[in-house]
Structure 1
């Protein structure tokens, strides 16, 4: 009862979907989207009696005997065999049947009662299928008669169907308010039930992760995808409605400040560089052949000592000769295999060392210093060795930069942005959130509402350290001292246990954050901030950029980054400098916060982690 009461409260808190006046047909196929039927406030009852074309994938199905009082097509006429006059007499006179049985040892069955017809007609059955087209969390029940097609073709889970029929109110009370009585089956995408990996009704997220090309057909993955889509749309909507300009940032870069972890280098080879790579591969082959030659020589010596099989010895000598010839050929083709080939970036495709971008902040500043307020939403890459459940090699970031803005302005913008996402997801994904509440995290709606309804807590890094050092009940794995980076454990304790809401931590030690952030007047801290949220941890990192040329130049020199590599970045300080601030929000971390998922790999369609690039 308690669980039902809680769920009822959740449903009341979520915005009810308004009654749709008419059915929604997909513009490019005339197919009716299931969300326009089942997402209505009446569950689709108002559309009963309409003829609809729907498609989807079978989630589950049952075959049952057709009720006797249901209307069926007229049966085919019976097939009667040709009979002789004697067979008719025997069938009419019982005494003749007895005599025939004594004489032949078998009875006369040619015209026994009930045997005049041909093969027995199969019992008519009906398939009750639950299908889903991905437009909503709900499944539509469709009813297919066995006279339309063999039901074995459409019963297996995963089968795709396109059907036309009449929408009717469900006769039996249950979770389905309406069902579709199928009149035509226009398409069937069959499934080999013995090989389809998602046939079981209950599968873990870890199991589904092994089939990224099929797993969106399962409701948990589909719900996360729809929530991710809604969050993406709302992110763009927030910035565009507040005067920001969307700018696409480069994925390939030569900038490597090592400020955002390890980077993924690009090993694009061409011309001579390709030849060098091929030579290295040939050198490895040569080593394999030399090892084989050594083994063949040992085998030949053994055969000579035994002096027992001259034929085997002859074959081994011929084999050795071929191996020596192949080794000699490779030696001529690769004269420099004895020394390690050093990569020459002048022969690289880009003629210099390049990386996949791990952040867009520096490049985004260029456009902020011209267009004032800009944002970017795109993929970033890191080569971290962290746990695959917490870190991705390829992830998506929302990066923001505001000109004429200081630290507090960026903090306010980031807070408003996260609160906006919370209000938006409650409004646009009520049914998916209900499913997440029941199947993944019963605290998801409460957590989203909390973030969207009250201001975030704000503390300095120094205050955070003092709180953690005073804690006596909780024992941390990493002892905290001023100047150290806060661990995930420290951040989670502050957000989950101390404040029980999002926390903004700002004014970090100078050496704990990237070089391009503004040094404060105390010369010990910088204008940086993080937003830590319950369940998901760090959602946002940001700060005010260093606009003073002498300060930023000193930081570049101190880190040994090379002024010539950052000359374009320093130019922003030489020509029309301005105070500017910004932040970066991890999109997968936001999805984790909303859904309550524990593994970050489940928040993205095709996760890339160390040693794993499935599909």
Structure 2
């Protein structure tokens, strides 16, 4: 406990490994830190702004009195307009300071008002410091880092903050050249900050995003620990043909198919048109049509290819029952300038579980994440709500309080097909993926809450998901969240070796070397098991209301700038 005056207040939080006071323990209190007035602390941070205030106004020896005729006019005016008195007092005070400064420019030192932040909170602490405290050549500009000792006191001008630090001793100054410092201006666009990923965490927005992201990661560990899961580390790079290597081969295969389309089209144009040649021409046109259909399928498969730890995670689930991992994955499809090539995933696998078990677990997990954000990240959510998306906090609360709607892929298709009052840009048929437009219509217009769409056609899903008894659909599910679209995908895995072998063969993935170990999980003690994966960046977009994935990951890797930082 710390003593302030005659009362005892909760102690400030001193970081164990530097003994400085963490700013959140001062500024995140219910009264903004007023209860700590009179407490001596050592604290520090990076300077966000600086204002200089001359102190001569309080010295009666330099005050410049008003002339008698001016005072008489003012008194007469105030008698008739008493509401102007507060404004006039402020103006008179400023005139006195200006006049005093002009009369005695060297009357005394300037008081510097520094606002600092150590990254522990979105709020800044004002430090009141005599500018003479700085050593020669160590002028404290915006961008500098300081460590200072002083006494907390109620703010003299409490607009925006309740408490300030009266500095008595400077322990460290990491100077910054205000002319060169890229973040010297008070406001920056997110686009500009992307060009400075090594400095952008110092901005309030990116700092809040980082703390929210950290809270999501911590809450993930808490949820799985609470429910008996074991955290395991998975390889980032692997040779299993579901990700990067498959993506490269599919890309090469697509180039070959497109080249074949051009060659076949050329031959058909050059073929003579005659009755005797009609059958040969028909066969060639049908062959060209099938080749074009193959090209469409290859392009479609590329859009969804990523390297995932999911298959390797299954091996640990088939020994430890319930496991999860959090780590980076790499996108293997055709690169796009604004699309991330590196993402982070939370992946989960549960042995002895079927599709509904995985859906229940995924729903509970998302609700836990959102409730944890409300409980622990209120200030940062309030900041992004104020500056980026005023509905973000309410959207998070709504996900916690409402049950998720559950519909099959077939039911989703029926709902979309019956829409008469609007026109979708794309028409969807059986066996095709719902577009983002369709998904958002289901969530935002029909059900107005999160929706789980399950039992997709097997053509849309990878070889390892369980094929249902109808032979057409799979035990899979997508969770579609308001604003963001698909947030989480999951499935029950195929535990039947004969069905798995057929799927691998049908998709042309029949390399024994790549899949023999995976088949062993079915050969030796097969078990029903299910799992899901959460896209961490999409979860961040949902929580913050931002719209660009590059703004919610610490170092965005895209095809155009992937190696720059």
Structures share a fold, TM > 0.5?
yes
- In structure 2, the gaps of 5 or more residues are 1-7, 61-103, 251-304
CA displacement 1:349-401 (0-9 Å, x = unmatched): xxxxxxx9710111111111111111111110113346554x31111111111
Alignment of 1:233-252 (within 5 A): 233-252=218-237
SS at 2:132 equivalent: coil
Q: Which residue of 1 aligns with 2:36?
A: 47
1:197 pairs with 182, 188, 206, which one? 182
CA displacement 1:221-246 (0-9 Å, x = unmatched): 00000000001000010001100011
Q: CA deviation at 1:151?
A: 9.7
Q: Which residue of 1 aligns with 2:332?
A: 383
1:229 aligns with 2:214: yes
1:483 aligns with 2:483: no
Compared CA separation, residues 169 and 120, structure 1 to 2 (3 A):
closer
Alignment of 1:358-507 (within 5 A): 358-385=307-334, 388-389=337-338, 391-507=339-455
Q: CA deviation at 1:147?
A: 2.3
Q: Which residue of 2 aligns with 1:56?
A: 45
Q: Which residue of 1 aligns with 2:72?
A: none
Q: Which residue of 2 aligns with 1:339?
A: none
Compared CA separation, residues 152 and 138, structure 1 to 2 (3 A):
farther
SS at 1:252 equivalent: coil
CA displacement 1:387-431 (0-9 Å, x = unmatched): 554x31111111111111000000000000000001100000111
2:527 pairs with 578, 589, 603, which one? 578
Q: Which residue of 1 aligns with 2:5?
A: none
Alignment of 1:509-548 (within 5 A): 509-548=457-496
Contact kept, 8 Å, 1:58 with 1:159, in 2: the verdict is yes
1:215 aligns with 2:163: no
Q: CA deviation at 1:196?
A: 1.3
Contact kept, 8 Å, 2:335 with 2:341, in 1: the verdict is no
Q: Which residue of 1 aligns with 2:22?
A: 33
Alignment of 1:102-181 (within 5 A): 121=106, 123-149=108-134, 153-181=138-166
1:608 aligns with 2:536: no
Distance in 2 (CA, whole Å) between partners of 1:264 and 1:594 is: 36
CA displacement 1:187-246 (0-9 Å, x = unmatched): 111111122111111211111011000001000000000000001000010001100011
Distance in 2 (CA, whole Å) between partners of 1:587 and 1:611 is: 22
Q: CA deviation at 1:165?
A: 0.8
Q: Which residue of 1 aligns with 2:538?
A: 589
Contact kept, 8 Å, 2:456 with 2:477, in 1: the verdict is yes
Contact kept, 8 Å, 1:159 with 1:190, in 2: the verdict is yes
SS at 1:540 equivalent: strand
2:518 pairs with 569, 574, 583, which one? 569
| RMSD, matched Cα | 2.3
Compared CA separation, residues 36 and 260, structure 1 to 2 (3 A):
farther
Q: Which residue of 2 aligns with 1:23?
A: 12
Alignment of 1:339-354 (within 5 A): none
CA displacement 1:46-66 (0-9 Å, x = unmatched): 111111111101111101111
Distance in 2 (CA, whole Å) between partners of 1:559 and 1:70 is: 87
Distance in 2 (CA, whole Å) between partners of 1:564 and 1:56 is: 55
Compared CA separation, residues 395 and 505, structure 1 to 2 (3 A):
same
- In structure 1, the gaps of 5 or more residues are 1-18, 72-118, 266-355
Distance in 2 (CA, whole Å) between partners of 1:122 and 1:264 is: 77
Distance in 1 (CA, whole Å) between partners of 2:403 and 2:245 is: 28
SS at 2:512 equivalent: coil
Q: Which residue of 1 aligns with 2:501?
A: 553
Compared CA separation, residues 60 and 151, structure 1 to 2 (3 A):
farther
- Structure exhibiting the larger radius of gyration computed from Cα positions: 1
Compared CA separation, residues 238 and 408, structure 1 to 2 (3 A):
same
Distance in 1 (CA, whole Å) between partners of 2:207 and 2:373 is: 15
Distance in 2 (CA, whole Å) between partners of 1:422 and 1:240 is: 17
CA displacement 1:437-456 (0-9 Å, x = unmatched): 10010000110001011110
Distance in 2 (CA, whole Å) between partners of 1:433 and 1:466 is: 37
Compared CA separation, residues 369 and 120, structure 1 to 2 (3 A):
closer
CA displacement 1:111-157 (0-9 Å, x = unmatched): xxxxxxxx984642111111100000110000111221279944522
Distance in 1 (CA, whole Å) between partners of 2:51 and 2:105 is: 24
Q: Which residue of 2 aligns with 1:69?
A: 58
Distance in 1 (CA, whole Å) between partners of 2:248 and 2:489 is: 18
